[in-house]
Amino acid sequence: MSFERQPGRLATINLRKQLDVMMKTSEAAKQKPTKGLLTPQKPTLEKQDENVTETQRVLNYMEAIRKSMTTV
């Protein structure tokens, strides 16, 4: 079966490439967390805007899954 007949697989491959780029840029822009009594220990999930596209939502889910897998 050719790649033209597998749009889901191609989309996943492209999203993984985009996620790798996104993870590298987010690591570079990561700030040092503040320490204190009232500082939350676990990072909160970012609130999603209404203007976020379906592709961006999928990327956000993939990023959250990848982060949770690496922090265990």
pLDDT in tens, 17-52: 999 998 888 766 666 666 667 766 665 555 555 677
DSSP letter assigned to residue 70: H
Q: Is the pTM of this model over 0.85?
A: no
Kindly tell me if the per-residue pLDDT of 7 is higher than 70.
Answer: yes
Element (H, E) at 65: helix 54-70
DSSP letter assigned to residue 41: S
Q: What is the pLDDT of residue 15?
A: 93
Kindly tell me if the per-residue pLDDT of 57 is higher than 70.
Answer: yes
